[in-house]
Chains A and B, each alone.
Chain A
Amino acid sequence: MAKKEKEVIAHGDKTRLQWTWHLMKQYKIGYVMIAPYVLLFTLITVIPVFSGILVSFTDFNLLQMPNWVGLDNYINLFINDDLFITAVKNTMIFAITVGPGSYILSFIVAWFINELTPKVRAFVTLIFYAPSLCGGIYVVFNYIFSGDSYGLLNGWLMNWGIIDSPILFFQDVKMIMPTVIFIALWMSLGTAFLSFIAGFQGLDRSQLEAGAVDGITNRWQELWYITLPSMKPQLLFGAIMSITNSFGFGAIVTTLCGGIPTDYVGYTLSHHLSEYGTTRWEFGYACAISMVLFFLMIGSNMLVQKMLSKVGKS
């Protein structure tokens, strides 16, 4: 810092533009170092998102030259496409249940296991993190929730005489959403969870001691007055991870319900997207769908960041 100030004084006679130019020359190696990553990042993330916005106003289908169709795709989506409305609704239901659910679960588990001894903690961390670590492992629920009597849960329930006929967890319209939400929660203790564990480990014990002296008597007070405010950076990061993840559970539905589920229960925007994108190749329309998804993600993230920024400020 001090060095920078000295430089500012030494170059005090330069204008802002000249100063910027000076810095650019002095640190030109920096541009060289970021170039490979930034070029690829631009190619794989920035260009796709922004060109997606443009394409969503056309009837692009990969084969013919695209025509500009204005807002037609969006109008069709919101007015003529009932399935789209279903998809938005289901996507939001998943996001609203799994997002906060996984966030709170990650936090509580991280909080509780923080008091274990390091070896036990490492083991418990593995158990809770494993489902999200091994991407495809949720297929095991095929055996547990299977709709015939070989399904473990149905087998038990029937054997105990609680039910007469098997529950069709992946076919019954009433059961699909709760079952999928349960599975999504099961595999949602991911990056946010690890970040919280690290946050708790980094807590300053002297602060907790000072709190105890100042009259904090139970774990909830300690959580509210000391832990939460000092873990705010992790809370903000964890929220982004949880929310972004909560939009990506369409694959569970596809795999476990065998394609598109009964009556489109559990049909999400990612299904709609792949239906129009990679099945019908209507890229213009599909891009409009992905833009809706984009704004849902950004919107809910921004909203939550705003809410969390109030933590510890009252």
Chain B
Amino acid sequence: MKKLRTRKHRVVLSRSIGGDFGVTIFMLLLGVVMFFPMYYLIIQSLKPLDELFYFPPRMYVTNPSFENFSDLFNLLNTSWVPFSRYLFNTVFITVCGTFGNLILSSMCAYALSKLPFPGNKFTFQVIQKSLMINSEVAQLMIFVIISKLGMLDSYWAIIVPALATPLGLYLMKQFIDSNVSTEILESARLDGAGEFRTFWSIAMPMVKPAWLTLIIYSFQGLWNTGQNIYIYSEQLKTLNFTINQVLLEGIVRSGASAAATVVMMIVPIVVFVVSQSRIIETMGSSGMKD
């Protein structure tokens, strides 16, 4: 009988050594291509001025310094709106939008998944189909609607469109479908719990991984809110907007703008690292039945 390959005491099926070698090489190369730009960004942000303009450009830094970060901070403090205001705007929009999105989507997903009212399937179909378009298509008319509602140039102009996103609802509904058993809900109802109570104290604790996923998606979108057509008052503008202004100042601000980009990417990365396993768990039920 042919000898079976094992890895960590498990038999390796259908894999040749040569193939594994090829795959490893391919992944290493691809990994380098993927990672290099991020690495270089961090290096650029740590380069002092003379190293930034060194020829040929170096992919490492000899005297790392945080000078670019303090430059960035000083630049941001020169505008007449204090930096803390931009930060507050972004945090406020992100927290309200994310929290609202989470509550509305879960409640709707729960009802669509567990309450067979007439119109249930049709509603979900429409939402699922809307995954096929991006918001660009509707953007102009959203602008008209936002302005008719008198929400232009206010936080609401950003928060309201972020409250009802199809992807969040879709992922939550699929996760409830496969992780919340109808029997448990049934017994809660027999014990006299109302539907809202069943939703909130029985179903919701069972879908924590999906919460985190919705939170990171909503967070990601809102945190990156930058220049947009809805807001024109300087004191309502966001962190990403003001940081991007630094990028527009061209080559003299090269180091500061690298620092700005690093600052903007740290938060989403930390959030993702913390919640990665839950997100993957949620994605386990993301599949679409045809």
Contacts and interface: CB of A to CB of B under 8 A. Distances in A.
Interface string A191-212: 1001101110110000011011
A136 B123 contact: no
B236 interface: no
A293 B137 CA distance: 7
A45 B115 contact: no
B160 A44 contact: yes
Contact of A135 (B26, B141, B220, B281): B220
A137 B41 contact: yes
Given A37-B105, A133-B272, A236-B288, A270 B136 contact: yes
Contacts of A244: 131-134
A49 to B, nearest CB: 5
A150 interface: yes
Contacts of A133: 220, 268-269, 272
A33 B134 contact: no
Interface stretch (A71-79, A172-180, A213-221): A213-221
B261 A139 contact: yes
A218 B14 contact: yes
B192 interface: no
B107 A37 contact: yes
Interface SS of chain B: helix, strand, loop or mixed?
helix
Given A38-B123, A234-B287, A52 B137 contact: yes
A219 to B, nearest CB: 6
A240 B288 contact: yes
A257 interface: no
Contact of B123 (A34, A137, A151): A34
Interface string A129-152: 111011111011101100001111
A96 interface: no
B140 A290 contact: yes
B254 interface: yes
A277 B139 contact: yes
Nearest to A128: B34
B55 A112 contact: no
Contacts of B105: 37
Nearest to A234: B287
B164 A240 contact: no
Contacts of A233: 286-290
Interface stretch (B15-23, B64-72, B77-85): B15-23
A61 to B, nearest CB: 11
A23 B115 CA distance: 10
Given A134-B264, A136-B224, A155-B55, A30 B115 contact: yes
Interface string B191-216: 00011100100000000000000000
Interface in B9-53: 13-16, 19, 23, 26-27, 30-31, 33-35, 37-38, 40-41, 44, 52-53
A219 B272 CA distance: 31
The main secondary structure of chain A at its interface with chain B is: helix
What class of interface size applies to chain B in its complex with A? 35 or more
A185 to B, nearest CB: 10
Contact of A29 (B55, B115, B229, B244): B115
B86 interface: no
A149 B53 CA distance: 9
Residue with the greatest number of chain B CB neighbours at <10 A, chosen from A28, A211, A237 = A237
Contact of A112 (B23, B133, B229, B287): B23
A46 B37 CA distance: 39
A255 to B, nearest CB: 8
A48 interface: yes
Interface string A38-56: 1011011111110110010
A141 B57 contact: no
B1 interface: no
Nearest to B254: A143
B76 interface: no
Nearest to B226: A136
Contacts of A241: 131
Which of B57, B229, B265: most chain A Cβ within 10 A? B57
A245 B163 CA distance: 20
Contacts of A293: 136-137
B280 A143 contact: no
Nearest to A278: B229
A131 B134 contact: no
A5 B6 CA distance: 51
B108 A248 contact: no
Contacts of A165: none
Contacts of A301: 132
A201 B57 contact: no
A239 to B, nearest CB: 9
B169 A37 contact: yes
Given A126-B273, A135-B224, A240-B288, 15 more contacts: A23-B118, A41-B127, A43-B164, A45-B166, A136-B224, A140-B37, A150-B53, A197-B280, A216-B14, A218-B16, A232-B287, A233-B289, A290-B136, A290-B138, A290-B139
27 contacts: A24-B117, A30-B117, A33-B196, A34-B108, A38-B164, A40-B104, A41-B127, A41-B169, A45-B138, A49-B141, A125-B276, A137-B37, A137-B41, A137-B261, A140-B261, A141-B37, A150-B52, A150-B57, A198-B283, A199-B287, A212-B13, A236-B287, A236-B288, A237-B287, A240-B131, A278-B229, A293-B136
Top 9 closest pairs, chain A to chain B, by CB:
A233-B287, A48-B141, A48-B138, A37-B108, A198-B283, A30-B115, A27-B117, A134-B265, A40-B164
